[in-house]
Chains A and B, each alone.
Chain A
Amino acid sequence: MISGYWSGVLGMLAINIVVAYSVFVPAAAGLLNLGSAGFVLLGAYMAGAMTSLFGLPLAAALLLGSLTAGAVAFLISFPILRTRGIYMVLATFAFAEVVAGVLLNIPALGGAAGLSVMAYAGLPVLIPSAVAVVVAVAWLMRTRFGLSVRALHDDESVAGLFGVHLRLTQVMAFTVGGAIGGLGGGLLVHQFNFIDVQSTGALFSIYVLLYVLMGGTQTVWGPLFGATFFTLVPEAFRKLAEISPALKFLEAGRYMIFGIAVVLLMMLRPQGVITRTLVERLSGPAKPASSGRGSA
């Protein structure tokens, strides 16, 4: 059986993967979300309240958390999509702060002290959820909707000329992202049996956006890489530090390596580690043209 330490790490990885995809879907459409914490908190508090205050089964609570976050994402997308570029980044950030502020002031949810829940979601829930999210998003990006998203990202007006509905596609992408974020939140609160606004705030949103962009938003594998790097590399450093006291600084600075990686990547390979061309090349040598099966 897996040791407690590793099951904790795997659990964190699963949650980070889910949250990564919540930022990936809008990012693939060109919308940067610096407020993912907002949707995660919404999902967490809703799901947590459902199991602890209303005694719902975990699955139902997770679903409700996801739907709530998705609904809020849908509603907020309309004003937020009126902003562009840096203003949109700030608007998503502001949104997350407003969510945090509102949740802080609901006494039934514990206020600043946070919400504790009894129901537990261990690996048997987390891993299938993460896998399901990856599969679902991979399928989504393979549909014409996914094509719309990627077309928008590359060239908005030409996409429009071929019938892609700019606003509708953006709203859908944002909503799907919010719903996935809500699921991530529901998983988070039931993995740690606790959620509070403090720990899932601005820094959380920043980390998520960074590791999604680090992984790359051109393909569906990017966020997987990003979440894995972010979860495992600092842990590797922590383990290394345990080997000898001289390496103690490695533990304290283990997130520094993540920051440095981000800076280097933005300088040298801004499209992220996993790009479309990389995936194409890895999936086999150049096939002869017009042979049998599809290539995309």
Chain B
Amino acid sequence: MTTEADRLTVVTTASPTRKRVISIVSHALLIIASILMLYPLLWLLAASFRPENEIFTSGISVLPSINWNLESYVRGWNGLRVSFGQLFLNSFIISGLSVIGNVLACSLAAYAFARLEFAGRRFWFAMMLMTLMLPYQVTLIPQYVLFLNLGWVNTFLPLVVPKFLAADAFFIFLMVQFFRGIPRELDEAARMDGAGPWRIYWKIILPLSTPVLATAAIFTFIWTWDDFFGPLIYLSDLRQYTVMLGLRTFVDSTGMSDYGGMFAMSVLALVPIFAFFLFFQRLLIEGIATTGMKR
């Protein structure tokens, strides 16, 4: 990166002082922009630790209050008829199962598209790509009727089972791209040793694909964790609510009176996503850069 920039400096005729000024101005711009962008988040974090009566009197400050405490967290945690602990558990179960489903089903399909020869492969691959563009609203109502008839409404099944059927075609695409980069000689060698497609998939392709599998797992987790529409439609019993659904109930029922509790639970709801961001930032950014993800 820097070497490229240095080479440019040689070619361009700009004086070193001018370069310096431009660099300082750019940094200043970027720092101001970062602060502006992150300010709402910092404010939310600070507000969640303030005593209730200070939330709106401390103005735009993001400095911690000297009277900081965890009361908002305690109140918020028990702010609904069901403890937020249950909602977090539900969200973790749904997101966890979705991760397993997506990684398994999408990698199976991706292996077929990337490595196996069979009649109609191009056609089905094109079909898969078409579903990427499809607005989910167009399948929404018949799917709802289907799950209603199966007796799955008000269970986690409508949220999880589609993941085991590779319904998130985006991840198939992601994995196909990656699998194609694995040298075919490895498959050939294994085939010489008598390995069938299943063995090759399990013993060669999957172990060599941990980066893409991890990327798919992390994005699946985050998207499922954040998903609001699915739980909104399929879950109606408070004990089965996800965190996001609980937050919305909070807004409707007590949000107007208990801002502190609402902010505290909002912070907690963001913690798992933020943790992934902190630990797997490189994977996430590479995943987006190579495939162009929407988020």
Are A and B physically bound partners? no
* A residues at B contact (CB < 8 Å): none
